[in-house]
Amino acid sequence: MQLPLPTGHCQLTTVRCEEGYLCDVCGGDVENIWESDLYLRYVIGLLDPETLHTTRERHIRCNPTLAQFIVDPDFEAVVVDGPFDKRQLDAEYVREQERLVTRGWRRLKELAHLEGVSLLDYPLLEVRERMRDEF
């Protein structure tokens, strides 16, 4: 599944519209939705849908602070050294983040095989419910 192009995508001067998204960190093409930090943050509720078109893209692995919380046999573990290393954080917080971020990543994998899903239906169920209550 190619990444959907949010409104305003063409304003990125380093990318022609038909090319897709380039990673703001490494400069490489973010080819698949399950590689997208932008959409991962969106599906887990860290990014408002109104800001999708103005937020820079990057690979999930290019955001190791978030990527370290994905715990899945199909995702090679990311280790962060320093103050944001999950091994240095509160164990309950880490468990909650691992559940949330892993579920979000799995949702992206699921979305890659679906067609016709509205962008507003991408997030996890609890995020969609919270969005409905807020708007």
Strands (E), the chain: 21-22, 29-30
What predicted TM-score, i.e. pTM, was given to this entire model? 0.83
Q: Where are the alpha helices (DSSP H) in 44-86?
A: 64-67
User: Does 101 have pLDDT greater than 90?
Assistant: yes
Q: Please, are residues 65 and 84 in contact by the beta-carbon 8 Å criterion?
A: yes
Q: 37-69: per-residue pLDDT in tens?
A: 999 999 999 999 899 889 999 999 999 999 999
Q: Which two tokens stand for residue 16?
A: 């022609």
**How large is the C-alpha radius of gyration of the chain?**
15
pLDDT for the residue 3: 53
Helix or strand or coil: residue 36? strand
For 29, the enclosing helix (H) or strand (E) is strand 29-30
